[in-house]
Amino acid sequence: MVKTHLIMVPCHGIWDSKVYSSANPKPAKAGEAVNEWHLASFQIPTKDNISFIEHAKIAIDEFKKDKDNSVLVFSGGFTKAGVEQSESRSYFELSRALGLLDTEDEHAGVECEEYARDSYENVLFSLLKFRKTTGSFPTKYTIVGFEFKRHRFIEQHLKVLQFTNVNYLTYGPVFPDDYDYSGYSSVQEAQDAFFKDLEGSEDRFAVQPFNEFRFGQGGSVLKKRLSRDPYSRGLEDYFTGVTAGDGILKTLLHIGESPDSERVYESEVENKFPWIQ
């Protein structure tokens, strides 16, 4: 049976199985302790690691409902200097530690995409990983992530790639337990302000920069991408088999490196994607 459904989890941190294994006393469940993770400071108050676990659970549930027709891809590269583990592989190992995956599941189509450095690359590289795994492209794309990032994935990245049959499933972030309520008349007002601020940060630091540089080819997007590649890993060898004989895919893979990327996109790539029905 030809698989047609790609389920992708964009990864946002790295779980350290060694910290969990050596803990005494050991936490009730893997991944629930913040110190098991390599996280950014802003991810700690909202306990983003709990959301990461839920993202994996939701994605695996979706995969098991449609196992014969699906490939589940955890997407995220080696983004932390001094940590020789990819984001995606850590999510995979965490899922095994939690008993969410068994050997049969793994062999049926659970993959790690270990090169993506940002959300645009999560989307694109997972498409290429699907083809590398199955020999074809999906006709349906399900993403599991944060609600406040929905616009970025659906209205920016997937729109640029002209992939339209999309499902977006969400969980989190979690409202902080120790949030400072001073100045607010109610818990609801504080929560509304918190999530409004979160959406504002998403717009300022992600949506607007990707509006200006759709492929991550400049500005703060490129700066962040390069900072999340401490080992300077190349893409060419990994994706050679996927892009061989397909000029569009090869152009798309390197379009972010071109100072003339918008013209290249419009003249060589737009409306020519192999997944367009």
Q: What is the 3-state secondary structure of the chain?
A: CCCCEEEEEECCCEECHHHHHHCCCCCCCCCCCHHHEECCHHHCCCCHHHHHHHHHHHHHHHHHHCHHHEEEEEECCCCCCCCCCCHHHHHHHHHHHCCCCCHHHHHHHEEEECCCCCHHHHHHHHHHHHHHHHCCCCCEEEEEECHHHHHHHHHHHHHHCCCCCEEEEECCCCCCCCCCCCCCCCHHHHHHHHHHHHHHHHHHHHHHHHHHCCCCCCHHHHHHHHHCCCCCCCCHHHHHHHHCCCHHHHHHHHHHHCCCHHHHHHHHHCCCCCCCC
Flag whether pLDDT at 249 surpasses 90: no
Average model confidence (pLDDT) across the chain: 91
Over residues 38-55, mean pLDDT: 93
Query: What's the pLDDT score for residue 105?
Result: 74
pLDDT band at 115 (very low <50, low <70, confident <90, very high): very high
Q: Domain 5-269 is of which CATH architecture?
A: 3-Layer(aba) Sandwich (3.40)
Amino acid 102: pLDDT = 83
Q: What percent of the chain has pLDDT over 90?
A: 70
| Residue with the larger pLDDT of the pair 236 and 61 | 61
pLDDT in tens, 140-168: 999 999 999 999 999 999 999 999 999 99
Domain ranges for the chain, please list them.
Answer: 5-269
- Name the band, by pLDDT with cuts 50, 70 and 90, for residue 178: confident
